[in-house]
Amino acid sequence: MSDSSTRRPAVGVRDVAALARVSPTTVSNALSGNRPVSSSTRERVVWAVEQLGYRPNISAQNLRGRRTGLIGVAVPEIDVPYFAELIRHVVDASRQRGYTVLIDQTEGRLEAERFVLNGMNPGMVDGILFSPLSVDRTECETRRDRTPLVLLGERVSGHGVDHVAIDNVAAAADATNHLIRRGCHRIAAIGYQESHGGGTAPQRTQGYRTALRAADLTFDPVLVRHTDRYHRRDGEQAMMELLDSSGDPDAVFCYSDLLALGAIHALHDRGLRVPEDVAVIGIDDIDEGRYSTPTLTTVAPDKVAIANAAVELLFDQIAGTAQAPRQVVAPHTVEVRRSA
Amino acid sequence: MSDSSTRRPAVGVRDVAALARVSPTTVSNALSGNRPVSSSTRERVVWAVEQLGYRPNISAQNLRGRRTGLIGVAVPEIDVPYFAELIRHVVDASRQRGYTVLIDQTEGRLEAERFVLNGMNPGMVDGILFSPLSVDRTECETRRDRTPLVLLGERVSGHGVDHVAIDNVAAAADATNHLIRRGCHRIAAIGYQESHGGGTAPQRTQGYRTALRAADLTFDPVLVRHTDRYHRRDGEQAMMELLDSSGDPDAVFCYSDLLALGAIHALHDRGLRVPEDVAVIGIDDIDEGRYSTPTLTTVAPDKVAIANAAVELLFDQIAGTAQAPRQVVAPHTVEVRRSA
DNA sequence: CTGAAAGCGCTTACAG
DNA sequence: CTGAAAGCGCTTACAG
């Protein structure tokens, strides 16, 4: 049996110091650049480091320096394309600042989200990017933990915590208006949810209703479908219900691309054409929608801008240069493709 | 300007010990259960912990205990659905063992992959799950770093490193045979790559050729298309080339679902029907394929089994109970849907 | 069952 | 520019 878990005695600063004939202090300074070191000394240190294959122990640096070089990203599900794409940009933005990303998947569970709000494990991360689902705004704002925190995709009207999101009311109105301009007048909405602490769904419903009203279209509750989640299967099921109801929609505004893709699946199943019989628009602009049949018209949040803004806010907090809680509104555009 | 970055003096074991009127040792033992503690003492400790809101510092535990509670997962791109879905299962399996997952995105860059092979930063993770792209097998096997490592999706014939994968030769043969049984005889392949250190592509090509030969179908190089990556756009482009060539395929075996979805997009663009004009099959069984139009026939690797096996191998290494390098072959099945 | 002491590997005042 | 000392917060032998 090979004992692959044996940690070899790990070469430390002391070994490097001994070989380079300097003190550990000087090794540290030479490597970090925190204090000036004569070039000849530095050379010997570097030589010794290479000689020994020395690499500093992160945990020790963390303990001493009170930073981990890690930021936590907590999302409900990492295999939801929108989150996967967003995380990718977060990882890129973080790496540029020498930070590594640690993933936490909450699945929207209250307990898991409270753990996040409490800064995860003490000293585990320097800051957290958090996309909440179950926890309400009040809870976000009254938390006791002081770990730097930035909320993602949350309502842009709170005041206790930094957050970045698109203008969800405007985004929903833009989507609905696109359908109206297309000539649709029985416009359904899929993804409705009761307000519970400032989620995005109520804002989207608001934008939808506002756009209908502005166009003198009547709001028909039969056309508004609740879904628990925003997955393909939820969109499929809601669309089925819609078709089985007396609603007779000629268009559907879905609160996520996944919902929209599920809805299209249901429409095809029933032998209906998209967009001829029913036009479909989503929100998220995930890559999948560029290749679906038909391609998906959608509201595109600027994910790179969201990731960059979120990381920047977080690093301002970490650096201690943060101003009062800020809210960033990232831009969005309507991507017109074939489905609407 | 609010100074949100101020770390409050952080309550430590000593504070808890003082309040509970015991030694730090006892606090540690009471909390960890490493040594017996009288129940009355434990109660006082627990009370003090709650009173003070004490939570142990992870970095200090790491430094002392030589474990981090973190496992690193390195994949080329986390927003590729197959990886996102796999990581989800890895996160689930890891959490069950009290471990958190740290994500590294290599984008297939050689430098980034070598960093992974070197155990990332010393002391940063207890083990690594790695899906390599650029680095070759030899390099995986001759690495000097001793951080526990398990390879994902790699050829199942190496001997130096633990790895888990499906039987790619058989999977490709199964896919091709499915098309043959459907009556196709001009079967194209998309995703071909030169062998560079034991990737999966050559194995899939081998399975494809084996199946053709067994059915007395001639192998036509025109029908085999190379792609650099396995994204939707690569599949789309390869399919276009195929249609512009003299190949005249009646079916396509794609080396990933994303390639297949891109190919279907191209076929629809050219006004061809799937599967009537050209049948399409992929590999990966991503959720997207259950809702695409038409739904995607695919070879489904058991992702849960892969994640569980990988995590188990890794923890055996971490625990030091690992046997000689092992290779796990995860099961796969053909999921017949509409596209083939 | 409990405690005093040492030390994980590093960096930061402090002194020169 | 360089070094000796202290200490980040914890847990593990060691002793009782």
Dist. CA A300–CA A175, nearest whole Å: 10
CATH 3.40.50.2300 domain locations along chain B = 68-166+302-332, 168-300
Dist. CA B189–CA B279, nearest whole Å: 12
- Pick the more confident residue, A21 or A156: A21
For an interface test with A, give the residue of B2, B66, B78 to mutate (most A CBs within 10 A).
Answer: B78
Query: CB–CB of B74/B130 below 8 Å?
Result: yes
Alpha helices (H) in B215-256, listed in sequence order: 232-244
By CB atoms closer than 10 A (0-12, 13-18, 19+), residue A220 is middle
SS3 state at B226 = strand
Residue nearest to nucleotide D6 (CA to C1'): A64
- Pick the more confident residue, B235 or B11: B235
SS3 state at B146 = coil
Q: Is the pLDDT of residue B5 over 60?
A: no
Q: Contact A292/B287, CB-based, under 8 Å?
A: no
- Backbone Cα Rg of chain A: 26
3-state secondary structure string across A193-209 = CCCCCCCHHHHHHHHHH
Measured between beta carbons, the chain A residues lying within 8 angstroms of B337 are none
A–B CB contacts, 8 A cutoff, strictly below: 179
Question: Is any atom of strand D within 7 angstroms of residue B31's beta carbon?
Answer: yes
Can you give the pTM of this predicted structure? 0.90
Nearest-Cα distance to chain B for A124, in Å, is 6
Nearest to A161 by CA among A180, A186, A143: A143
> Which helix H or strand E contains A330, and what residues bound it?
strand A327-330
pLDDT range class, residue A197, cuts 50, 70, 90: low
Q: Is the pLDDT of residue A59 over 90?
A: no
Highest mean pLDDT among A12-16, B37-41, B271-275: B271-275
Give the DSSP letter string of A149-205: EEEES--TT-SSSEEEEE-HHHHHHHHHHHHHHTT--SEEEEEE---SSS-HHHHHH
Q: Is the pLDDT of residue B233 over 70?
A: yes
A282 touches chain B (CB under 8 A): no
pLDDT range class, residue B7, cuts 50, 70, 90: very low
A108 touches chain B (CB under 8 A): no
What does the pLDDT look like over A62-116, one tens digit per residue? Answer: 888 878 888 999 999 999 999 999 999 999 999 888 888 888 899 989 988 998 9
Q: What is the average per-residue pLDDT within B82-98? A: 92
- What is the CA B61 to C1' D8 distance in angstroms? 12
Find out if CATH 1.10.260.40 is the number for domain A4-56: yes
Eight-class DSSP state of A296: P
pLDDT recorded at residue A3:
33
Q: Is the pLDDT of residue A271 over 90?
A: yes
Measured between beta carbons, the chain B residues lying within 8 angstroms of A287 are 79, 232
What does the pLDDT look like over B28-74, one tens digit per residue? Answer: 999 988 888 999 999 999 999 998 989 888 889 888 887 888 899 99
B121 touches chain A (CB under 8 A): yes
Residue nearest to nucleotide C1 (CA to C1'): B37
Q: Which of A4, A103, A323 sits opposite B146 (nearest CB)?
A: A4
CATH fold, domain B68-166+302-332, is Rossmann fold (3.40.50)
Dist. CA B136–CA B120, nearest whole Å: 18
Question: Is any atom of strand D within 7 angstroms of residue B123's beta carbon?
Answer: no
Phi, psi of A254, deg, nearest 5: -105, 140
Mean pLDDT rounded to a whole number for chain B = 90
Dist. CA A100–CA A125, nearest whole Å: 10
Q: Which two tokens stand for residue A16?
A: 């490097």
Contacts with B307 (C-beta within 8 Å, 6 or more apart), sequence order:
B86, B89, B90, B92, B93
Taking only residues 38 to 67 of chain B, the set having a beta carbon closer than 8 angstroms to any beta carbon of chain A reads: 53, 55-60, 62-63, 66
Tokens 């990556």, residue located: B229
Q: Which two tokens stand for residue B174?
A: 């199964």
Measured between beta carbons, the chain A residues lying within 8 angstroms of B8 are 146
Phi, psi of A237, deg, nearest 5: -65, -45
B185 touches chain A (CB under 8 A): no
Domain A168-300 sits in which CATH superfamily?
Response regulator (3.40.50.2300)
pLDDT recorded at residue A275:
96
Q: Which two tokens stand for residue A274?
A: 């998209």
